[in-house]
Amino acid sequence: MKKTVLITGAARGIGKQTALFFAQKGWNVIATMLSLAEADDLLAYPTISCYELDVTSTESIRLAQQKIAQDHKNIDVIINNAGVGYRSFVELSEDEKIDAIVNINWLGVVKVCRAYIPVFRAQKSGLFINISSIAGLVNLPLGSFYHSTKQAVESFSECMAYELYDLNIKVCTVQFGNAPTSFQKSVTTSPATSIKSYNDLMKKVTDLLHKKSNKNTNLTPLITQKLFEIASQPNREFRRYTIGFDANFMRLLRSVLGYRLFNAIIRKYTLK
């Protein structure tokens, strides 16, 4: 029997590429997005079904869940992929943008998991793959909001895994660096200001992230392949999976050097 995966934020970027990869591997794919107008070429695949779902809205999740249940009797894996970026100085941050990134990146994961735990419990099986980021393990300048939401996903996922262990519901997180998708281009940033050091730092960090994204040409296929492997052979124990050279290097460097030395390297690399 074909397995079924539900992917949030599947209209573009890693979410879309993951949906296509799973479909090509013979899985039934439930691709969710804010609007079906974003479905684009996903609809051309007979094993991909598209549904509108806003991860920030409990009501939207409920309505989508009802429609999905009519078409799919079983869901094996849920990949919580929907996410946005916000690169800003704390002083210049805006309530609306803070609320948006918290509601999508963290509470969106919480609400989707909350809605589907009863489904997995009734099935007596299921796997949540919560997409975090290397930003969930290390901290960089201008990442106060993005990094904190990703660290929240890490803590939430690990705590939830304990609750669900005896129910045969598995949980893991996945971290990776900057993939060459449209994500960095769509990141909201704080506007230029009269504070020169702020403007200089914004330009330096933005240039570094775009340069790194453009270099990681092989990262997207590594991510989709690893997500497929995790989904195909889920681990009963909670796991954090790190994908790509950047993410693995940063994780290893911090663990070996410790906080103080690692922090000094980040300061030297980004502030000088």
| pLDDT grade for 215, boundaries at 50, 70 and 90 | low
Give the mean pLDDT of the chain.
89
| pLDDT grade for 188, boundaries at 50, 70 and 90 | confident
269 assigned to active site: no
The pLDDT value recorded for residue 200 is 83
Q: Where are the domains of the chain?
A: 4-271
The pLDDT value recorded for residue 180 is 55
End-to-end distance of the chain based on CA atoms, in angstroms?
57
Estimate to the nearest angstrom the gap between the alpha carbon of 194 and the chain centroid. 34
| pLDDT grade for 210, boundaries at 50, 70 and 90 | low
The pLDDT value recorded for residue 203 is 84
Residue 254's identity, in one-letter code, is R
Closest CA to 78 of 5, 156, 3, 170: 5
Structure confidence by residue, pLDDT tens digits, 217-269: 678 999 999 999 999 999 999 999 998 777 777 777 777 777 688 778 777 77
The pLDDT value recorded for residue 251 is 74
The pLDDT value recorded for residue 260 is 80
Query: Is pLDDT larger for residue 38 or for residue 58?
Result: 58
Residues 228/22, Cβ–Cβ less than 8 Å: yes
The pLDDT value recorded for residue 77 is 98
d(CA 47, CA 57): 26
Structure confidence by residue, pLDDT tens digits, 88-127: 999 999 999 999 999 999 999 999 999 999 999 999 999 9
Signed CA dihedral, 230, 153, 201, 12: sign only:
positive
Is the pLDDT score of 27 beyond 90? Answer: yes
Is the pLDDT score of 214 beyond 60? Answer: no
The pLDDT value recorded for residue 155 is 95
Q: What is the CATH number of domain 4-271?
A: 3.40.50.720
Least confident of 19-28, 31-40, 133-142, 157-166: 133-142
Is the pLDDT score of 186 beyond 70? Answer: no
Residues 87/142, Cβ–Cβ less than 8 Å: yes
Average pLDDT over residues 5-10: 97
The pLDDT value recorded for residue 181 is 53
Count other Cβ atoms within 10 Å, centred on residue 220: 19
The catalytic residue among 51, 86, 116, 146 is 146
